[in-house]
Amino acid sequence: MKLEKKVILLAGPTASGKSKLAIKLAQHLNGEIINADSMQIYKEISILTSKPKSKDKKIIKHHLYGLSSVRDKFSTGHWLQMVVKKIEKQWSLGQIPIVVGGTGLYFKALTEGLVEIPNISNKVRTEVRKLHRKIGQKNFYKRLVELDPLTKKSLLPSDSQRSMRAYEVKKFTGKSLFDFRKETKSNFGDDTFKKLFINVPREFLNKKIESRVDYMFKDGAVAETKKFLKMKINKDLSSNKIIGIREIGDYLSGKVTLIEAKELIKQKTRQYAKRQFTWARGHMKSWEMIYSSDLNDLFRKAISKIS
């Protein structure tokens, strides 16, 4: 199989089995694994983010996991700079990089480039968020389309984060976010990438999410959260968005029972998986969709798609 100077991209919703498939692919293709999950970059949180276990790291080298503190800001731009270097390094060693994760924006940045926009003033950013809170996403999206008609073809009406981003960019720069995007290019040609998405049936995925959350609690999720809360992290930092931090925090303060905390985490994880599917439908139309409940069969399907 000729895959010189190629990169395998492996995406899918949380709990879809990406990590296990990535290891099999890396063993077969003389590859190493690179993280594309924005929550697995934190070194202090491993259980709640389902970072690869040390036994998996002994089988295949894993890169860009646990590289930033929960106290620090870490952007898509930081990740992109690092992943480009890792890819080129692996190519120089005759290896196949396998980029694995569930963060759609990371994959978009890698395959399409990262939009370089002037820093938006805090005043404009605050005004936009106030407006969004006041009128709600539905009315905000209507106003956005009036302000910037280009957004209608490129943004889902339900995508509140990107709607606010597009609004503040247009308001501050006078230029559409999508005009900036037209000027953006990837570090690599599109034919560099072999793109796979594990398209798990929803009912099967929900069962896997149930099992994963139950295992997290057995593995020490409460103790891990206690350590995080003692650090008193700035509330504006992204590490606070790790699913489970708030729910277990509420359990520790007596606001909810342990059973309720578990159920809330399962519910939030299902909602996150739903958003990942929505992103895939909107942004991963060129990706190969694969699925099997059997790992060996899934591996064969993956190999057939990248050959």
Closest CA to 261 of 200, 205, 216: 216
Same domain for 245 and 145: no
Q: Among 179, 190, 37, which Cα is nearest to 112's?
A: 190
Distance separating alpha carbons of residues 260 and 250, to the nearest angstrom: 10
**Residue 2 covered by a domain:** no
Q: pLDDT, tens digit, for every residue of 161-198?
A: 889 999 999 999 999 988 887 778 898 998 999 999 99
Q: Which of 176, 173, 53, 191 is nearest to 118 (CA)?
A: 173
- Residue 130 belongs to some domain of the structure: yes
pLDDT at 7 over 60: yes
What's the CATH number where 220 sits? Answer: 1.10.287.890
Q: Tell me, yes or no, whether 75 lies in a domain.
A: yes
For residues 129 and 104, state if they share a domain.
no
pLDDT digits (tens, 9 = 90+) for 130-170: 999 999 999 999 999 999 999 988 888 998 888 999 999 99
Q: What is the model's pLDDT at position 2?
A: 63
Q: Are residues 73 and 190 in the same domain?
A: yes
Q: Give the C-alpha separation, 278 to 281, whole Å.
A: 5
Q: What is the pTM of this model?
A: 0.84
95-143 pLDDT, tens digit per residue, is 999 999 999 999 999 999 988 777 888 899 899 999 999 999 999 999 9
Task: Identify the domain containing residue 268 by its residue range.
Answer: 204-274
Residue 163 sits in a domain of what CATH number?
1.10.20.140
